[in-house]
Structure 1
């Protein structure tokens, strides 16, 4: 059901424009919750299908319980939903949904125009990968726009540095010399989609980051000092996700894996998940299965095919496992073949590590829950997030660095898991991760750095 604007009489309203990918939808919805806590109404917009997805998968709070959070659904544009191709690291199966979302430009402009007649100011917060859809904002006199970056500050700074042909780096950023070019980790189709966004928008009132200075202070400072980076005034208001989750002991609504975790010792389980869109080949799944068994550590492994553009499509392929594997590991491991409550798993005291693709949504959830990471980036900016975790924060070990197309061997996987879960080095990473979580908890408390940044942003958009 579309959000009703007839009763809106607020001075300032916020309109959220997310990209229809799970990590992006999720961050935008968490950000919406933060804005509404200031008694500012928010309209979360998008195709009906993707709004349903966002609401269905949100964790840590109930979006229907917030009276000033409205969901404005546009009819879902038609698009193809191809099956994932495990031969490519980038989840090309979701690109048709991204391209279809660009058809929402006109209905979004009409909605913003109608809303502008009801409010003194319309503030549009758009995913930086949805700039095409908000390029008409200058035609609405009382509207202004802000981008939110669904990726890390280290990535944004890197892209800017690469665009300048790699000039000399300040000491705090010299790590970037060790990493590759963005083009190496994406497909030409993705580069074309990014170019469409870059070409569409030549104005920006400021940028919101799902990060905080505890995590990325050096790179936020570098972006703030360099006007040519294009971020304008910036506000670091992450983590967007809740950092304390409500307790849920109701077995009818609690995922089965949490009951299994309840029976395990503290910090004894590694959680293995590669985000909502990654699909590993059968051969790589076999190596991963053998590697987890070789490690002799307890684990929860979310094993499923990557999302299509329509996550509710029924024809999903069952991901491969060696025959008899689940029986062999039943005392030490749990295989989850459906969508799993990642935030709840990371927050559980039995979870002591996380093997991840290092998407920024997953990275922030793990960092904010104090869980160290075995990094296995797959595409896009994920190698930079992995470098932040292993080389800057020093809360992770490397499984793979995304630079080779070769299979990651079972022995390499087993060695990384043992380093993280069963070594003094891993214990030190857990201590460090918990220390960072403690600093994040202080920064998000009343009077902390994050609320001050959020106060600053809200004061700015509600100014007279």
Structure 2
């Protein structure tokens, strides 16, 4: 993206207020880059441990963030429990103490924005919707709500959204089939949610990490409902800004030229490898790991499997549980038997975007976190869906039933204790995605959609124009 040659740098500043969880931190860092490309200074704020985390895991080198200023605030000590792979639900309860500690950022961030407003003509605050409590006192800035989840998830949770007479039939069917998450969160997280929804904050609009090519019907539905629910607002004041995907849209050079994942992929043919990764917040039981391993082995397909301990609230502490996980035994002889066609990364950070962008990657077995969905879609990779919590069931429905670029590996459901998906199911799904005629058609559709998404960010493309309209709006 070309830099805007105006003097906006001295006129407008943007403050990013992310939720302290990896997927949320990452999305707002990518948006920070897009905005800073217009020579607008961006202040990315949060607790010291989470600023350190997002810097450690960013895709590009530090010099790419020359207009991004990271600002750390202290937060009180919080409990830092390890994840429980045998929990009866897959919601990452281990990060809830960290989320609660973030509420102590309310006064420091309000004061920071107040001080910043004396140096700029306008300050714009983009806050995660789950940080509404923290920003509620800010009165000297234009505030915009950031939705870190998909538009289809938001629409599916809204009462009677599917009844909209202008909602396309296919989109209505998906909304009606998507399970509600109401009542399915741990009580501690529901309490945190209630705190956010009860915190009234005037917002100039909602920003989505999405685009019309991916979620057009759902974005239009949400925009209509916004206008109908707030009729006193001028209709030309756009209420929904689709500014994504935020992640880089071309395959990236690895920050480490000797990265073993990319070097390993270089040895294999086009579309021959499936990436297996379930995100940063959830751990599987030993039994489920064993079944996945056996399924991958029996499928006879090439794979990269990212097998890691889920993040805690503070990722920089070590525990006996992590040591135990790194020593986790896979089925006896497994790694030796698959060494020619499988790469298992145990408790390592993998460059997911670069892997998905590699020519050898032809499939993605995923939990359907929105970051992962967007990275897979923008790189043109079809998916096998295995949703675990939150917006992931809605995302999986979008991928499989809406976009038709995925196959269902497991339905989401609430159970008492984990219901283990068998090796036979894993084998069947992997083979279906990678070597069946149906999988080939999904791969073709995924490649076409990925191309359309990337084209939308070219000069004159719809996503590019929407971004430029947003920049004009906040610098007006």
Task: Quote the residue 1:93 is aligned against.
Answer: 94
In 2, are the aligned partners of 1:128 and 1:147 still within 8 Å (CA)? yes
Measured in 1, the distance between the counterparts of 2:341 and 2:373 equals 25
Measured in 2, the distance between the counterparts of 1:291 and 1:311 equals 30
Matches within 5 A, 1:177-188: 177-183=176-182, 185-188=184-187
In 1, are the aligned partners of 2:184 and 2:414 still within 8 Å (CA)? no
Measured in 1, the distance between the counterparts of 2:200 and 2:355 equals 39
Tell me the TM-score normalised to structure 1 length.
Answer: 0.93
Matches within 5 A, 1:14-163: 14-59=14-59, 61-86=60-85, 87=87, 88-138=89-139, 140=140, 143-161=141-159
Task: Quote the residue 1:3 is aligned against.
Answer: none
Q: Deviations over 1:145-165 (max 9, x none)?
A: 001111100011112136x7x
Tell me the TM-score normalised to structure 2 length.
Answer: 0.90
Q: Deviations over 1:350-387 (max 9, x none)?
A: 11000000000111010000000000000011000000
Number of equivalenced pairs: 448
Measured in 2, the distance between the counterparts of 1:444 and 1:175 equals 27
In 2, are the aligned partners of 1:185 and 1:402 still within 8 Å (CA)? no
Give how far 1:189 is off.
2.1
Measured in 2, the distance between the counterparts of 1:23 and 1:120 equals 32
* 1:461 has 2:460 as partner: no
Task: Quote the residue 1:318 is aligned against.
Answer: 325
* 1:449 has 2:458 as partner: no
Partner of residue 245 from structure 1, selected from 240, 251, 255 = 251
Task: Quote the residue 1:369 is aligned against.
Answer: 379
Give how far 1:200 is off.
0.7
Task: Quote the residue 1:194 is aligned against.
Answer: 193
Give how far 1:244 is off.
1.1
Measured in 2, the distance between the counterparts of 1:205 and 1:179 equals 29
Flag structure 1 segments of 5+ consecutive residues without an equivalent: 1-7
Q: SS in structure 2 opposite 1:15?
A: strand
Measured in 1, the distance between the counterparts of 2:349 and 2:75 equals 23
RMSD: 1.9
Q: SS in structure 1 opposite 2:380?
A: coil
Change (3 A) 1:115 1:425: same
In 1, are the aligned partners of 2:14 and 2:43 still within 8 Å (CA)? yes
Q: Could you tell which deviates more after superposition, 302-311 or 220-229?
A: 220-229
Task: Quote the residue 1:215 is aligned against.
Answer: 214
In 1, are the aligned partners of 2:271 and 2:362 still within 8 Å (CA)? yes
Give how far 1:247 is off.
3.1
Give how far 1:232 is off.
6.7
Q: SS in structure 2 opposite 1:336?
A: strand
Measured in 2, the distance between the counterparts of 1:33 and 1:202 equals 25
Measured in 2, the distance between the counterparts of 1:65 and 1:76 equals 28
Measured in 1, the distance between the counterparts of 2:62 and 2:197 equals 31
Q: Give the 4+ runs in structure 1 shifted more than 4 A.
A: 166-169, 228-232
Measured in 2, the distance between the counterparts of 1:305 and 1:322 equals 18
In 2, are the aligned partners of 1:395 and 1:430 still within 8 Å (CA)? yes
Matches within 5 A, 1:287-298: 287-298=291-302
Measured in 1, the distance between the counterparts of 2:77 and 2:409 equals 39
In 1, are the aligned partners of 2:20 and 2:98 still within 8 Å (CA)? yes
Q: SS in structure 1 opposite 2:159?
A: helix
Task: Quote the residue 2:263 is aligned against.
Answer: 259
Task: Quote the residue 2:241 is aligned against.
Answer: 235
In 1, are the aligned partners of 2:83 and 2:92 still within 8 Å (CA)? yes
Flag structure 2 segments of 5+ consecutive residues without an equivalent: 1-7, 231-236
Task: Quote the residue 1:308 is aligned against.
Answer: 312
Change (3 A) 1:246 1:297: closer
Measured in 2, the distance between the counterparts of 1:273 and 1:129 equals 25
